Amino acid sequence: MAIKHIISPREKELGGFSVRRVLPDARQQMVGPWIFFDHMGPVSFPAGKGINVRPHPHINLATVTYLFEGEIFHRDSLGNSQSIYPGDINLMVAGRGITHSEREREEIRSSNHKLHGLQLWHVLPESDEEMAPAFYHYAAKDLPYFSEAAVDLRLLMGTAYGVTSPVKTFADTLYLEAHMTTGQTFQLPQCEQIAVYVASGSIRINDQEISQYSMAILEDGASASVHALQPARIAVIGGQSMPQRFIEWNFVSSSKARIEQAKQDWAARRFPLVPGDEAEYIPLPGSE
């Protein structure tokens, strides 16, 4: 049997709307280096409403934002201001500490609009956890788009089917999007750890059906094929197995003591501010 777990998401409130949180799960903390997986939307906002995530901190990880529809305006404490459009990859490396906000431009917020996408976090190898924070943005046109067994694929991170994404990685990492029509089948790439999330539609992996908004975690090193039972959009994530990490609120680290220090630093306002977004912030949970 290729499938180890099937995970159903939990609903979480996030800055004006709810998301489906898949990872971490009690049965599976990480898939390769991926420790966090949120599915945002699809949601429709009336004029005057929208995503509004105030400045908040991260350490020892990298965030990866990818949109199917809509737009998010990213700002961070390094001074970066960047609109994220569908098909782009927004990679923010927290390293020893960064602050960022996720909001919308007034031009977007002032009319009816939609948002749909994924946000993932991946851990940094222990040797890179305290690296200098950094920010990388990759436009959709620069990411490989190709077909495998007639299935349309976009390689967001890593290497698969002889194709390599230009997005920076810190460990053996896979992040792949597939659009499938009913009846299509393709073989998943080989990966030490791998999982498949169904953003829309339904699929079958080997002989097991996976419904919309579910993630199938495969056995380590398993070979498997994906078959579309109806039109489907899926995300494939994976990579090399990583040692356990501690996670609390927005902080992920190999050290509990490092997380405690980060909590103290945020509560004392010792993290850097976000230029252009200095007035607000999300308090440390339990500190108010």
Tens digit of each residue's pLDDT, the chain (288 residues): 699 999 999 998 776 677 999 999 999 999 999 999 999 989 999 999 999 999 999 999 999 999 999 999 999 999 999 999 999 999 999 999 999 999 999 999 999 999 999 999 999 999 999 999 999 999 999 999 999 999 999 999 999 999 999 999 999 999 999 999 999 999 999 999 999 999 999 999 998 999 999 999 999 988 899 999 999 999 999 999 999 999 999 999 999 999 999 999 999 999 999 999 999 999 999 876
Task: Decide if 259 contacts 57 (C-beta within 8 A).
Answer: no
What's residue 16's pLDDT? 65
Distance (Å, whole) CA 197 – CA 234: 6
Closest CA to 8 of 200, 20, 19: 20
Task: Decide if 225 contacts 188 (C-beta within 8 A).
Answer: yes
Closest CA to 262 of 132, 122, 94: 94
What's residue 17's pLDDT? 74
195 Cβ contact list (under 8 Å, min separation 6): 31, 34, 215, 216, 217, 218, 236, 237, 238
Q: What is the three-class DSSP state of 260?
A: helix
Task: Decide if 96 contacts 131 (C-beta within 8 A).
Answer: yes
What's residue 1's pLDDT? 62
Q: Model's pTM, two decimal places?
A: 0.95
Task: Decide if 133 contacts 96 (C-beta within 8 A).
Answer: yes
E strand or H helix at 259: helix 256-267
What's residue 208's pLDDT? 94
